[in-house]
């Protein structure tokens, strides 16, 4: 049985709206040219991505690649 979340009416502090820059599912399905590299990740990051990939039934490498692609595209658009 899942533990119920108890919501409280607390002050959230300083809040700011962040523009949604994540790609749509259609964009994630696109096949771009891939280049093999060697990348050293921290154990914490690797464990996180592997756990999330297992939870969502996908490859952790795909998740890391999609995250890096979204980051790169966002920063290429900035002046």
Which helix (H) or strand (E) segment holds residue 72: the answer is helix 60-77
CA distance 53 to 64: 10
Pick from 64, 31, 22, 21: which is nearest to 46 by CA? 64
Does 73 score more than 90 pLDDT? Answer: no
What's the confidence (pLDDT) of residue 51?
A: 92
| pLDDT, greater one: 29 or 66 | 66
Give 24-49 pLDDT, tens digit per residue: 766 666 677 888 999 999 999 999 99
* pLDDT tier at 50, thresholds 50, 70, 90: very high
Going by pLDDT thresholds of 50, 70 and 90, the confidence category of residue 17 is confident
CB-CB contact of 46 with 59 (8 Å): no
């Amino acid at each position: 049985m899942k533990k119920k979340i108890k919501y409280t009416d607390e002050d959230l502090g300083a809040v700011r709206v962040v523009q949604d820059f994540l790609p749509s599912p259609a964009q994630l399905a696109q096949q771009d040219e891939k280049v093999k590299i060697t990348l050293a990740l921290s154990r914490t990051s690797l464990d996180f991505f592997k756990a999330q990939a297992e939870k969502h039934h996908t490859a952790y490498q795909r998740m890391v690649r999609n995250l890096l692609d979204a980051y790169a595209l966002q920063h290429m658009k900035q002046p």
